[in-house]
Structure 1
Amino acid sequence: MKKLLLLSLFYTGAAFAHPHAFIEMQTKALVEQNQLVGFSMKWMLDEASSSAVLYDMRQARGEAEKQKLIDEVMNNVVNEHYFSYFFDKNNNKIKYKKQVKNYGVSKEGAKVQYYFDFLLAQPKQLENNEFTLMTYDRTYYVSMYYPEDKSAVDFSGLPANCKGYIEAPNVNEKTRSYAASLDKTQKDEDDSLGVMFAQKVKIQCE
């Protein structure tokens, strides 16, 4: 049986311009005792990608085999560091734990949604700090994005001395045209295309 893992969306596609697939994201900041401990994420696949995943799920023989498919997906996502890059106010990269929590798959209409929590290797004090989270495919083969809906990122767990917002990328027309010119066999050689289109989740605390 073919196993279409979520990770394969970053390397296969049928479109003729970057991006080839789309993942709509939701994120929630996880806070305990005024410390940032991690993030809860939901990734909604586009209908074409969802259809392929649902097909594989239907081919699975029983719940145990379905769970094995989900486990493989999440193991691959963990090995890619959740496709997420997290920095403090001094631009120091913050590491995560390898143990993913509360993960699974749900079906939302014709679409598949993966959900999971990932925790920081060490909790971070929020007071007098600033953080930036970016989640993206480095080659922009898959567009990972937050919708314009203000509920896309949940900052409700932050204390009163903090604020959060999404910062949109500033992509010039030349870069957009370059991305649109790439077919499914091409990738950005220096893996720098994805970051140019990445939205930034910003957390600022006094």
Structure 2
Amino acid sequence: MKTYSLLLSLFISCGVLAHPHAFIDMQSTPIIENNQLTGFSMKWTLDEPSSSAVIYDMKQARTKAEKQKLLDDVMGNIVSEHYFSYLYDKQNNKIKYSPRPKNYGINVQGLQLQYYFDVPLAHSQNLEKNTFSLQTYDSTYYVAMTYASKSAVDFSALPKNCQGKLIEPNVDEKIQAYASSLDKSQKNEDDSLGVMFAQKIIIQCE
């Protein structure tokens, strides 16, 4: 299954796909324990059209167990795509995640729905003299996953020997024009677009 259809299916039931584009406003916090990076706490807020579809489905669920199953299905899809997140260390080694997210749930904020969850690393990473980069994106760029501002990434848990920053992408005008020209009804087969538009979290430690 293409990432496009899979990512949208996380939030929109199959019969309610009213618009092929979705927008996710993200927040992220690194989880630090004993001077080690152990994971990230994430919040994803859906745009109103996507939110309304999910809220409708949640209302159709009559029992707590049915609602929990809907949430579990969403998280299962997110996990199967490695949380749409790509983490690398100083040597550019890809860091794996645990397939078991923690503390996940749903909040409704006005007309928008927010998923929240913790992404544990498969193995904790030493912070000392290391650098980490994290990007979260839909590889086809049918879904825009963005941090609205630098404050959307909370680095307050980092120890004094570390600093964090959010880097904006520098996208060539031709690439921007190409992306904006894509027909909204077509399935984009170009899996290279998402990373070009992805913001990057950097954690650098002495």
TM-score when normalising by structure 1: 0.91
Conserved? CA contact 2:12–2:53, under 8 Å: no
- 1:71-117 per-residue CA deviation (whole Å, 9 max, x = no partner) reads 10001100110000000111110001101100000101110000000
Conserved? CA contact 1:13–1:184, under 8 Å: no
State the 1:185 CA deviation. 3.7
Range 113-122 or range 178-187, more displaced: 178-187
Counterparts in 2 of 1:110 and 1:22: CA distance versus 1, 3 Å: same
The one-letter amino acid paired with 1:30 is: I
State the 1:6 CA deviation. 2.0
Cα separation, 1, equivalents of 2:198 and 2:189: 18
State the 1:190 CA deviation. 3.9
**Partner residue, 2:146:** 145
Conserved? CA contact 1:132–1:200, under 8 Å: yes
- 1:176-202 per-residue CA deviation (whole Å, 9 max, x = no partner) reads 111111123434434000000000000
- 1:98-149 per-residue CA deviation (whole Å, 9 max, x = no partner) reads 011000001011100000001111100001000000000000010000012x
Cα separation, 2, equivalents of 1:187 and 1:89: 35
SS at match of 1:82: helix
**Partner residue, 1:197:** 197
Unaligned runs of 5+ in 1: none
State the 1:13 CA deviation. 5.4
Cα separation, 2, equivalents of 1:32 and 1:72: 29
**Partner residue, 2:76:** 75
Number of matched residues? 196
SS at match of 1:119: strand
Cα separation, 2, equivalents of 1:180 and 1:122: 39
**Partner residue, 2:88:** 87
**Partner residue, 1:183:** 183
SS at match of 1:154: coil
The answer to whether residue 49 in structure 2 is matched with residue 48 in structure 1 is yes
Cα separation, 1, equivalents of 2:23 and 2:190: 21
Unaligned runs of 5+ in 2: 1-7
**Partner residue, 2:10:** 6
Cα separation, 1, equivalents of 2:65 and 2:25: 28
**Partner residue, 1:121:** 122
SS at match of 1:49: helix
Conserved? CA contact 1:139–1:188, under 8 Å: yes
Conserved? CA contact 2:11–2:50, under 8 Å: no
Cα separation, 2, equivalents of 1:127 and 1:107: 39
Conserved? CA contact 1:87–1:133, under 8 Å: yes
The one-letter amino acid paired with 1:49 is: S
